[in-house]
């Protein structure tokens, strides 16, 4: 009896192992090539790859937003009568987004770095730091006493965890680029590839840039090899990739693959950036809270459930669910009453998050998004990861075939139409140039480098368009926005404002969308579908921003199977 039981147990166990092996192919597909049958990562050589890559982890400050389909645009009455966000069905890929708005403290860390690496005392670097400074004068009002915020809001510790304001769209983009590099620089040091403490000992000629490291690693940190390969993991990597001495090769060989590459999956190859308008609106709605299997059970007017702005919970009944203006002259209610507990901006996480775990997606401050503004969302052309603003570039190549890495002598400054001077590039970066015919020839997806006005504002869209006429006349534009001129001379900047009386719009390729209501707005603007625009060079006291990051790999972080 016992012998039969033992025999059955052995047979059952063996059968189970066979079934498991068949069901997942024994995972051999990850250890041998499905193309050639050769072993992958063989000690004797051959193709080497990371076959044990884990899912992408959320970078600091970010939380995971699982993508999906949703109705983008407003479905309530349009009291402004502009009909610029007609509902369209869109699909957004999974991504990551900042849990909160970027705070004053986060931005001060950025300014501190720029001041140390690019000292403003040196004339060549002065405008790098000053070009990144928020405009604290946005708090001033001709008939208001706001000097307290003008002098204290950015730097006083009382406002450290309040959202940064006075930042233009251009400045917000540069903050994301800086944040990407500092994060990856930290990862390489933590993983033991670069010299410990290297990030604290850089100057303008020895900075770290993520994409320079991936494409020309020996040129990062100013080419300091002891810094670039100064970690223990780097030493082990070099040792493992150095060919051993043999009869045919007594001296061994030179080490290969000594730097971290994209295929290793160690550093983030997607960067901190501004979210697209579709991503921001999708994340703000948080429709996942109304999901039942593969459908949404209802609509949301705001990032929270219900159609009202006050809490219905017993303990917090009557409290406002966001920081916004409740009426003329009413930014925070009467003294001693439980309202939104703020008159200007509020500290982050002062209100409950939405169903994705994001804070202040309505109220507090409006937020920049990446898109160039147009009155329509062209869903007829694209309904997947919709975004207007693509300007495609490529790496500049030297005569010897290497990428051109910028030095301190290559810094180029742009003078914006408002007179501010900002750095177009920074030392250590790879110079970017527009794509040309080599990339666009016989392509169906794109034909130009700059696609900001594609299908809405291009030459063919204007009412003046005729195939046989000259449409380069600036007065024959579809969007005849003002053209302000600014030039530098011996006596400083000369500003020439557009004094034309026949301009009909402020829309051009330099205006960007901002989303969400703010502490200055009435509840109408709290609807995530609302959209407004502002020139990318301007800043206000009620617009901030948060970063997003694209996800690589699977759509979901959980294993799910379709329901039959």
Whether 58 is in a domain gets the answer no
First to last CA, the chain: 43
Residue 449: CB atoms within 10 A of its CB come to 16
* Helix ranges, 354-500 (H): 437-440
Q: Is the pLDDT of residue 514 over 70?
A: yes
Same domain, 105 and 17: no
Q: Pairing relation of β-strands 366-372 and 543-544? A: parallel
User: What DSSP line would sit under 417-438, residue for residue?
Assistant: TTS-EEES--TTSBPEEE--HH
Q: Given a cut of 60, is residue 12 above it in pLDDT?
A: no
Instruction: Indicate whether 556 belongs to any domain.
Output: no
pLDDT bin (cut points 50, 70, 90) of residue 4 is low
Query: Do residues 9 and 140 both lie within one domain?
Result: no
What is the pLDDT of the chain when averaged over all its residues?
Answer: 87
CB contact at 8 A, 363 and 351: yes
Q: Which residue has the higher pLDDT, 542 or 57?
A: 542
CA 357 to chain centre: 18
For residues 29 and 131, membership in a common domain is answered with: no
- Asked if 484 contacts 537 with a C-beta cutoff of 8 angstroms, the reply is no
User: What six digits make up the tokens of 49?
Assistant: 């790859």
CA 229 to CA 223: how far, in whole Å?
A: 11
Q: Residue 44 domain-assigned?
A: no
- Other C-beta atoms lying within 10 Å of the C-beta of residue 330: 12
Environment class of 30 (CB within 10 Å of its CB; exposed 0-12, middle 13-18, buried 19+): middle
Sign for the pseudo-dihedral over CA of 460, 463, 467, 469: negative
Rounded mean pLDDT, 507-519: 95
CB-based burial label for 380 (10 Å; 0-12, 13-18, 19+): exposed
CB count in 10 Å sphere of residue 315: 6
Residue 247: pLDDT band with limits 50, 70, 90: low
In degrees to the nearest 10, what's the CA dihedral of 380, 382, 386, 389?
-90
Looking at the fold, whether 223 and 97 belong to one and the same domain comes out as yes
Q: Are residue 75 and residue 27 in the same domain, yes or no?
A: no
In a domain, 52, yes or no: no
Do 28 and 128 belong together in one domain?
A: no
pLDDT band at 315 (very low <50, low <70, confident <90, very high): confident
Find out whether 339 and 348 touch, Cβ atoms under 8 Å. Answer: no
Whose tokens are 């970027």? That residue is 102
Residues 3 and 146 in one domain: no
What token pair was written down for 212?
Answer: 């320079």
Over residues 63-96, the pLDDT tens digits come to 999 999 999 997 667 777 777 888 999 999 999 9
Reference 432, options 397, 399, 468, 466; nearest CA is: 397
Phi and psi, residue 46, nearest 5°:
85, -165
Q: What is the mean pLDDT of residues 263-283?
A: 95
Tokens of 328: 């003329």
Contact by Cβ (8 Å): 325, 362: no
As beta bridge partners, residue 492 has: 489
Cβ atoms of 457 and 480 within 8 Å: the answer is no
pLDDT for residue 518 = 96
3-state secondary structure of 287: helix
Q: Which domain holds residue 83?
A: 63-550
* Confidence grade of residue 23 (pLDDT, cut at 50, 70, 90): very low
Q: What is the pLDDT of residue 25?
A: 46
In a domain, 420, yes or no: yes
The tokens 């192919």 sit on which residue? Answer: 25
Q: What is the CATH number of the domain that holds 314?
A: 3.90.1580.10
Looking at residue 112, what is its pLDDT?
97
pLDDT in tens, 399-444: 999 999 999 999 999 888 888 889 999 999 999 999 999 999 999 9
Do 65 and 283 contact (CB within 8 A), yes or no?
yes
SS3 state of residue 296: strand
HSE-up (13 A, CA, CB side) for residue 27:
3
Asked if 349 and 466 sit in the same domain, the reply is: yes
Cβ atoms of 548 and 98 closer than 8 Å = yes
pLDDT at residue 47 greater than cutoff 90: no
Percentage, residues of the chain above pLDDT 90: 59
Of 106, 25, 146, which is closest to residue 541 (Cα–Cα)?
Answer: 146
Give strand pairing partners of 433.
Answer: 394
Does any domain span residue 560?
Answer: no
Q: 8: pLDDT confidence band, cut at 50, 70 and 90?
A: low
Do 17 and 67 lie in one domain? The reply is: no
Does any domain span residue 51?
no
145 and 10 in a common domain: no
Q: What is the band of 62 on the pLDDT scale with cuts at 50, 70, 90?
A: very high
More confident residue, 256 or 410: 410
Q: What is the pLDDT of residue 471?
A: 56
Give the model's pLDDT for residue 75. Answer: 65
The per-residue pLDDT for 292 is 64
The mean per-residue pLDDT over the stretch 40-58 comes to 85
| C-alpha to C-alpha distance for 537 and 533, rounded to whole angstroms | 12
How many domains is the chain built from? 2
Q: What is the dihedral of CA 375, 380, 384, 389, to 10 degrees?
A: -40
Q: How confident is the model at residue 419, as a pLDDT?
A: 84
Rounded to an integer, what distance in angstroms lies between the CA atom of residue 205 and that of residue 188?
20
Same domain for 452 and 353? yes
Largest Cα–Cα separation, the chain? 106
Strand partners, 69: 91
CA pair distance 40, 504, nearest whole angstrom: 63
How far, in Å, CA of 182 to CA of 113, rounded? 10
Asked if residue 564 has pLDDT above 50, the reply is no
Question: Does one domain contain both 212 and 100?
Answer: yes
Domain annotation covers residue 458? yes
């Amino acid at each position: 009896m016992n012998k039969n039981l033992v025999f059955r147990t052995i047979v059952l166990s063996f059968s189970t192992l066979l079934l498991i092996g068949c069901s997942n192919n024994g995972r051999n597909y990850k250890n041998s090539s499905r193309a050639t049958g050769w072993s992958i990562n063989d000690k004797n050589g051959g193709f080497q790859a990371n076959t044990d890559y884990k899912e992408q982890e959320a970078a600091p400050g970010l939380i995971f937003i699982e993508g999906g389909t949703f109705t983008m645009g407003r479905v309530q009455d349009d009291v402004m009568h502009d009909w610029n966000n007609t509902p369209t069905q869109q699909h957004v890929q999974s991504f990551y987004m900042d849990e909160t708005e970027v705070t004053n403290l986060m931005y001060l860390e950025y300014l501190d770095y720029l001041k140390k690496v690019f000292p403003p005392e040196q004339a060549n670097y002065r405008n790098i730091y000053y070009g990144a400074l928020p405009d604290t004068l946005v708090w001033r009002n001709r008939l208001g006493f706001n000097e307290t915020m003008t002098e204290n809001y950015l730097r006083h510790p009382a406002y450290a965890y309040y959202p940064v304001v006075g930042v233009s769209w251009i400045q917000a983009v540069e903050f994301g680029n800086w944040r990407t590099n500092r994060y990856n620089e930290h990862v390489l040091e933590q993983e033991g590839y670069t010299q410990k403490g290297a990030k604290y000992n850089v100057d303008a000629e020895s900075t770290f840039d993520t994409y320079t490291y991936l494409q020309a690693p020996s040129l990062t940190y100013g080419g300091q090899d002891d810094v670039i390969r100064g970690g223990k993991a780097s030493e082990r990597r070099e040792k493992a990739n150095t060919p051993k001495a043999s009869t045919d090769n007594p001296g061994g060989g030179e080490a290969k693959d000594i730097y971290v590459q994209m295929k290793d999956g160690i550093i983030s190859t997607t960067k901190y950036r501004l979210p697209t308008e579709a991503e921001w609106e999708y994340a703000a709605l948080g429709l996942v809270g109304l999901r039942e299997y593969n459908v949404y059970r209802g609509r949301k007017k705001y990032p929270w459930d219900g159609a009202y702005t006050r809490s219905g919970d017993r303990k917090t009944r009557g409290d406002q669910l966001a920081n916004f203006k409740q009426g003329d002259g009413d930014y925070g209610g009467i003294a001693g009453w439980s309202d939104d507990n703020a008159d200007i901006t509020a500290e982050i996480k002062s209100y409950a998050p939405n169903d994705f775990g994001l804070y202040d997606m309505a109220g507090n401050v409006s937020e920049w998004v990446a898109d160039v503004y147009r009155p329509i969302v062209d869903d007829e052309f694209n309904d997947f990861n919709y975004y207007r603003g693509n300007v495609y570039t490529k790496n500049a190549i030297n005569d010897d075939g290497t990428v051109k890495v910028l030095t301190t002598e290559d810094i180029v400054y742009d003078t914006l139409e408002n007179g501010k001077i900002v750095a177009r590039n920074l030392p250590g970066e790879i110079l970017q140039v527009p794509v040309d015919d080599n990339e666009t020839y016989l392509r169906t997806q794109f034909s130009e480098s700059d696609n900001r006005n594609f299908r809405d504002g291009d030459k063919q869209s204007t009412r003046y368009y005729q195939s046989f006429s000259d449409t380069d006349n600036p007065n024959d534009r579809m969007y005849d926005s003002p053209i302000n001129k600014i030039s530098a001379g011996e006596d400083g900047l000369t500003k020439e404002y557009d004094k034309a009386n026949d301009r009909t719009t402020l829309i051009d390729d330099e205006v960007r969308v901002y989303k969400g209501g703010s502490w200055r707005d009435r509840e109408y603007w709290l609807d995530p579908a609302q959209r407004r625009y502002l020139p990318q060079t301007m800043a206000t006291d009620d617009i901030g921003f948060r970063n997003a990051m694209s996800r690589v790999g699977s759509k979901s972080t959980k294993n799910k199977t379709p329901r039959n």
